[in-house]
Amino acid sequence: MEISEIKKRLSAEIVGEKLFVYDEVGSTNDVLRELLGDDLAADGTVVVSDSQTVGRGRLGRKWVSPRGVNLYLSALFRPEIPPQKSSVFTFLASCALVEVFSVYGVDAEIKWPNDILVGGKKVSGVLTELGTSGGAVDYLVIGIGVNLNLSEEFIRREMEDISEKTTSLSILLGEEVNRERFCAEVINALDRLYGEFRRRGTQVIVDMWIERWGFIGKEISVDVSGEIVSGVVERVDANGFLYLRTDESDLRKVVTGDTVF
């Protein structure tokens, strides 16, 4: 990706003020951490790469990251929040992505905790990693992968096990997507919502996410380390944890897991 083609579209104040663009990295999340260690990254620094050799999802899962077709982006945030609130930044990124998809006329859905789907198929995922110091968050690295120009043929050939559950923006639109433009839109949206967080705190982000997610009062099933917990979502607390009413006498707090359909 051309850095100048991204920069000329940026209206952001903090996010992307420092922007590093690479051809190939292991994982953009790791590169950002290394830059931070070398004192080259500040709040809002963004790393983008054309490909990743070891792109990852949560819990050691793989993120398929072919060259030249998608967006692989990591943003550094240094908010003063306790570690248990770090999911709020996954929510912030999810809301930013839904906003950007809507600019392209695509109605994206959020799947708790970190997936973005369109028509039930995954188009994007968010990986939040953190460093702590003295019991508080020192930094958060928010990794965002978006399938932009991934072809149906590639998905069928290289992503056999998940081909029915995967899509890309170009498949949805029926035309090629300008990756630099999409990247700049994501940075601008992250910046807007980060500004919102800095002015008004975490709750405004959680509330926005709850509204976009839309599952309060509905039944969902969550895979919690292999155990399927089903229930009606009673509420989402200030940390982003779910409370599922599994029966009249049981309200289960769910901190991590994957929604299953």
| Helices 202-213 and 87-103, axial angle in degrees (round to 10) | 50
Choose, by CB under 6 A, the member of 114, 149, 188, 202 that binds ligand BT5. Answer: 114
Residue ranges in 71-90 that form contacts with ligand BT5 under rule CB under 6 A? 72-74
Instruction: Look up tokens 């991590």; give the residue.
Output: 256
The reply to whether 27 sits near ligand BT5 by the rule CB under 6 A is yes
Ordered alpha helix ranges (H), the chain: 3-7, 28-37, 87-103, 152-158, 169-173, 179-200, 202-213
Q: Quick one: how far is CA 149 from the chain centroid?
A: 18
Nearer to ligand BT5, 127 or 183 (CB): 127
CA-closest candidate to residue 120, choices 162, 155, 152: 162
Min. distance of Cβ 115 from ligand BT5 in angstroms? 6
The reply to whether 57 sits near ligand BT5 by the rule CB under 6 A is yes
Q: In angstroms, rounded to a whole number, what is the distance separating the alpha carbons of residues 81 and 259?
A: 26
Choose, by CB under 6 A, the member of 6, 33, 46, 55 that binds ligand BT5. Answer: 55
Nearer to ligand BT5, 61 or 198 (CB): 61
Min. distance of Cβ 56 from ligand BT5 in angstroms? 4
Nearer to ligand BT5, 66 or 201 (CB): 66
3-state secondary structure 23-46: EEECCHHHHHHHHHHCCCCCCCCE
Q: Is 39 left (phi over 0), alpha (psi -120 to 50) or beta?
A: left
Q: In angstroms, rounded to a whole number, what is the distance separating the alpha carbons of residues 37 and 139?
A: 11
CA-closest candidate to residue 95, choices 212, 201, 191: 212
Stretch that binds ligand BT5, among 6-14, 62-70, 182-190, 202-210 (CB under 6 A): 62-70
Choose, by CB under 6 A, the member of 16, 29, 95, 187 that binds ligand BT5. Answer: 29
The reply to whether 145 sits near ligand BT5 by the rule CB under 6 A is yes
Residues present in the chain in total: 261
The reply to whether 64 sits near ligand BT5 by the rule CB under 6 A is yes
Min. distance of Cβ 60 from ligand BT5 in angstroms? 9
One character per residue 185-224, x = contact with ligand BT5 (rule: CB under 6 A): ----------------------------------------
Q: Contact positions toward ligand BT5, by CB under 6 A?
A: 27-29, 52, 55-59, 61-64, 72-74, 114-115, 122, 125-127, 143-145, 147, 162, 166
